[in-house]
Structure 1
Amino acid sequence: MTSTPTAPAPLLPARHDTRCPYSPPPVYTEAAGSGPVSRAELPDGTSCWLVTGYEEVRTVLSDRRFSADARRPEFPFLTVGQREIIATNPSFLRLDDPEHARLRRMVTGDFLVRRVEALRPGIQQIVDRALDRMTAEGAPADLVAHFALPVPSLVICLLLGVPYADREAFQERSRLLLTINAAKEEVARAQNELLDYLGDLATRKRDRPGDDILSRLATRDDLTPRQVATTGLLLLVAGHETTANMIGLSTALVLRHPEQAARLADPATLPGAVEELLRLLTIVHTGVPRLAVEDVELGGTPVRAGEGVIAMLSTANRDERLFGGEDRLPTDELDLGRDARRHVAFGFGVHQCLGQPLARAELQIALATLFRRLPGLRLAVPESELDFRTEAVIYGLRSLPVSW
């Protein structure tokens, strides 16, 4: 039995307000202002719970009474047609334990902190070369095309064993997969083309393996070729789209607050500054879906088994009770000196982002190098002309024209 909404429920996913491009859509912040748990409506017409409070979001993401298994018939989806596309080829991100844990463990070692620390010199070289090429071509330049996108794309290609020469094909299809209102047929075609591509690549690596993730997965006897391709697809898309968007958005936001840029150039304050950017921007603006599989009381609200729940990372990360304080700016403003270490930008619980050590390393190296080498970096167009990806599951910028 489902609960009956007592007030008009907002339709998800909500649209951004272009006047506040670095904030979550107003629907989410308004819901957070009225309480940590409220009603909302999904594109298929079903109602769900919108969870906006920090503690409540952490509960949803860590409590086994909320399922991540997208194959369940009542699982909530944020776009029409997503169900048959995701549920037919779920990655471990969309599964519960023990199946989730079994598949995740196969790639955990490649993203351990100590393994990522060993990659830092190589990431630094990639960053330096990208900046060398961009500056050699001269200003103005599109920072997304010349820096924010190539850096994480090249890194994840090297780790996975995917030819960087194929980047245009997988980037185009990746973005289609992450477009909220894309036609179901187009999304299905893009997904199948990427799975076929990665499956063929894995088959070749099974015969001639290299020192990369796809090779290690392809040579296992306990994975089907489709499972190898599905895991590869998750890592490929998440590995470049999220970090690329964070580099672009972070740069644009810091250029709005140039007085704080010195914290990115100082090794002592750099890690904390990056955590604050992750907290404030929280680029998964659409939220994380879960399904209640038992009756739960959440933030004083009864949630029934069989009801969908959308956990809003972006509003949780702006909770004044956790990230505010008399000596700090309000949580909807950038404060690179804030202690933001408890943010949930990478999720929480057993499903939290596997690649977060790599993302942190890439962001730290890319942003520190960028602002150190180009102290005169500035927008080449008025901020009002920047083109934000308001239609994407992963929020970001299509382009970022800059001069220096």
Structure 2
Amino acid sequence: MPNKIRVAELFAGVGGFRLGLEGWKKKSASSGYTKSVKSVYEVVWSNQWEPSTKTQHASLVYEQRFGKDGHSNEDITTVDVTKIPDHDMLVGGFPCQDYSVATTLKNSKGLIGKKGVLWWSIHKILSEKKKKPKYIFLENVDRLLISPSKQRGRDFAIILKSLDDLGYAVEWRIINAADYGMPQRRRRIFILAYLKTASIYKDLKRCDPRDWILNEGTLASAFPVTSNELVLPTEFELNGDIVEISSSFNKNGGASLFENSGVMIRGIVTTLKTFPEFYGEPVVLNDIIQNGEVTEEFYINDKDLDKWRYLKGPKKEIRVNTEGFEYNYSEGGMVFPDSLNKPSRTIITGEGGSSPSRFKHVIQTKKGYRRLSPVELERLNMFPDNHTKLDGVSDTKRAFFMGNALVVGVIEKIGLALKEKIENEALVQQV
């Protein structure tokens, strides 16, 4: 095995993947950055570009923490693939968009939906690189498995077929970080792919798919699961090319064929509903809050409390739309204040700012009700304290970063499990 696994990080944000794989100052996220970690991963190239903002705040934070060497702050759709150094692993949390295909990937008019669908930027790198990365590690929102609503699962099927065409086998799992003791209830799909020249590909090919999902796979090693022994996995083949899949997959609009766990190799999909298996002590919101260090602007004025209670409370009322039409509106209530004895709710991008909101976190302290601070939001994603603090970056923007980020501890555990498999691969080759 080489001394380092060279990594290219796309859609880097403020560096969650990098923190999980490399650690921070040689310390691990799962230890709260107190214990040393010997990382085999080295990010040799990264890209972060936010098309909707003039000032590239996330990229500035990334550069401040990790340096400018090997970092690209340009639209990934315009990057010359030959300028990206060879790497062993491609990682990234790519946006969930409309992945429809009309004709061919070579014809830009063949992409239906928002211009510049970023999955195809990943595909372009994998297609054009003479030396393809052996490993791919991706993250996305869990609704990817059920999108779009009229062809549930089609988008994920397109991604799987694309990777199959490029010579990769795939395993995936929806993981809720809190199910494994981490401080935030954040559900995301994690996708690992292995090039056919990698020994892990050959191991997966030889293994019973159900056994890989439950015991032998990288994700099973990182995050143990169980399943209903009486339920058999669903198995099906991805027939046709990606254009045909785009137009015909689950055309009847039934439930998605994809369960929360699965594998795909040589176009054959095996998917199974699994359940987390964890017996450790959970980290709860109370474990991460700051005591006596939060400034006054995060406390809620008594006169605004009724607005917060109304927005978070249950509603059954008549409303009038902009055209004067009356309609019945109802929604359930939310816990107010947020429980300190459980992992937090999912952080959203609109978490920052002082205006009352249904979805922002509010906790009760001896001093009164308050919102969460940027440091507390960082801790919920297992980032180092003040990782996003930078001159010119507002607290609202810092909250936005964390709403877009991932839970670093999940990346760390998967990275360690993958490292072990790669090391075993190297040992086998030496025998």
Q: Give the TM-score of the pair, scaled to structure 2.
A: 0.26
Larger Rg: 1 or 2?
2
Higher strand fraction (1 or 2): 2
Q: Relative CO higher for 1 or 2, CA cutoff 8 Å, sep ≥ 6?
A: 1
